[in-house]
Structure 1
Amino acid sequence: MATTNHFGIALRGWRERVSPRDSGLEAGGDRRIPGLRREELAGLAGLSVDYVVRLEQGRARNPSAQVVTALARALRLEPSERDHLFRCAHLAPPSAGNVSRHVPARVHRLVGQLAGNPTAVFAADWTLVSWNPMWSEAIGDPRTYGWGEQNLLAGMFRPDGVRGRAPIAAWPVRSWAGDEVEEEDLVADLRVTAAAHPHDTRLAAFVDRMLRDSPRFARLWSNGTARTHVGDRKTVEHPRVGDLDLDLDVVMAAGTDLRIVTYTAAAGTTDAEKMDTLRAACPEPGRGPAHAMSGPDGPS
């Protein structure tokens, strides 16, 4: 049974969508396709035309990382597309640079659509970047949390080692799975980020401080578990409306490694009614993220 030529399919599809003019080439002449000819792509990538033909046809199946990098650059691929091309070549995608704290306009718009629910944006290292008014109503103003470097893990693993009933946020937010499971999930997620950003000196220094200051963090870090945190079930001990049982979902914003974190209540429950009470007290509920962390760690 023939193996699907995923690399060749992707390569041809992206070649045919690239505008010659955008690549600095003349768009005139008799063109059967709107995009680049094979010889044009070969010239832009510094490869032979024959090799590009063999890659598209699946007769050459083991391109090097240098070849894939050159093709991705010539095709003007987005990072997610570049990574897909690497995987199609059975290669690991190149490591990313520093963890980004930039929140694109489309992510702001997406969070704006979630204005009725407590929603916040975290960087991949769990630095809090921005949040909407409902987050402040339900979880408290993050500027009162006292997290070192505005980072969730720094708030969870404080140097004094105290967790117990001490709230991480403005008031207690309890995981139904228990503190230990929640901590392990977030440390495992941070490990994924650290592996993806091996050259981020700020992230490396943060991990070093956590290892030095928190034996609990060091123990969990040493077990080697790595997985992306996708959600939880929480009880928020709210000072005005009482306990709220909420689902927490973590969504990766496409094309970024930002974490969009949102709390929701099941419809028709007393928790949903309490959320309605909070929405009524929430200023400007139709707007997007109303607050952002300031300084070098804030969004740009």
Structure 2
Amino acid sequence: MDDLGRALRTWRDRLEPASVGIPHKAPRRAPGLRREEVAVLAGISIEYVVRLEQGRAAKPSAQVCTSLGRALQLSDAEQAHLMRLAGHSADPHRVPRLIPGSVRRLLERLASHPLAVYDATWQLLHWNPLFAATFGDPTTVTEDHRNLLLMHFEGMPNPARFSPEDRAAFEDSLVADLRATTSRYPDDPDVEALITRLRRVPGFRQLWAAASVAEHQSGHKLIEHPEIGPIDLDSDVLTTQGSNLRVVVYTPRPGTDARDKLDFLAAMGTQRMASDRSQGL
């Protein structure tokens, strides 16, 4: 067991099941959460959790570290320590991926809305249960699919539907936002690699050549949900100071039935979680 494995085991052992909504029905042989419970909360496999704790796995990605930090309820200092142990040391030349406690508290207060946190390259770092219920569970797709730019320009499955005008405005805004990121983090190899990959797509290449610079701030999305049909949402982007994280909050579009549908999804998700726990999943 290496330092990363020991830290993960210590954080897992100290966390009370009740604090993450898991009923404590029977005595446990060990304190804290079970490995399979951490795996479910973080959206990763139980086998990977085992390998991480035993020091037999490759260092986890920044996105996996963020998911583990959320599942284990780490403080800002502990999350930063986890990032360093995994080789993602704080570097002013790299895109930040640590979500501060102040942002997490904000997210808790907005739990009645689907919301997500992206880094400055539009890589998804965090989402709430209502986001997963509305857009689809991000744990079921690859990390490439969790990047908004790659998903959109490479034509990956996407529940959002756009009018031609909305699509053009969305694409132009995203590319202009990425252009701004390149000036903030000119030496980040991940940013360069992302742009190199995206430039293979003609639509992106044309917009990139325009050299527009702006911040992506708001938009309109019509989500085709497989169970309850279209959900009409507005999206607003809050950018954090210093870390340039993007907190995206989705709100019901006025004059639509989106609020009723979101409330239904929230209730349905709670029922499914309760059913899963009663079956020991």
Report the TM range for the smaller structure's normalisation: 0.5 to 0.7
Instruction: Look up the SS of the partner of 2:162 in the other structure.
Output: strand
Q: Is the 8 A contact 2:177 2:213 kept in 1?
A: yes
**How do residues 56-67 of structure 1 correspond to structure 2 at under 5 angstroms?**
none
- 5+ unaligned residues in a row in structure 2: which ranges? 1-90, 272-281
- When residues 267 and 155 of structure 1 are mapped into structure 2, their CA distance, relative to the original with a 3 A threshold, is closer
Q: Is the 8 A contact 1:118 1:262 kept in 2?
A: yes
Corresponding residue number in structure 2 for 1:185: 173
Residue 214 in 1 paired to residue 201 in 2? yes
- 5+ unaligned residues in a row in structure 1: which ranges? 1-94, 285-300
Corresponding residue number in structure 2 for 1:156: 152
Q: Is the 8 A contact 2:161 2:221 kept in 1?
A: yes
Q: Is the 8 A contact 1:175 1:233 kept in 2?
A: no
Give distance in 2, aligned partners of 1:246 and 1:149: 21
Q: Is the 8 A contact 1:176 1:233 kept in 2?
A: no
Q: Indicate the percent of aligned positions where both proteins have the same amino acid.
A: 36
Corresponding residue number in structure 1 for 2:192: 204
**How do residues 84-95 of structure 1 correspond to structure 2 at under 5 angstroms?**
none
Give distance in 2, aligned partners of 1:156 and 1:269: 25
- Amino acid in structure 1 at the alignment position of 2:120: A
Corresponding residue number in structure 2 for 1:228: 215
Give distance in 2, aligned partners of 1:214 and 1:266: 32
Q: How many residues align?
A: 181
- When residues 175 and 261 of structure 1 are mapped into structure 2, their CA distance, relative to the original with a 3 A threshold, is farther
**How do residues 159-170 of structure 1 correspond to structure 2 at under 5 angstroms?**
163=155, 167-168=157-158
Which is greater in Rg? 1
Residue 144 in 1 paired to residue 103 in 2? no
Q: Is the 8 A contact 1:146 1:155 kept in 2?
A: no
Give distance in 2, aligned partners of 1:194 and 1:242: 38
Deviation at 1:269, TM superposition (A): 4.0
Give distance in 1, aligned partners of 2:115 and 2:164: 20
Residue deviations 1:110-166 (CA, integer Å, cap 9, x gap): 1111111100000011011010000001111123345627311111111xxxx4xx7
Residue 99 in 1 paired to residue 100 in 2? no
- Amino acid in structure 2 at the alignment position of 1:198: P
Q: Is the 8 A contact 1:249 1:262 kept in 2?
A: yes
Corresponding residue number in structure 1 for 2:84: none
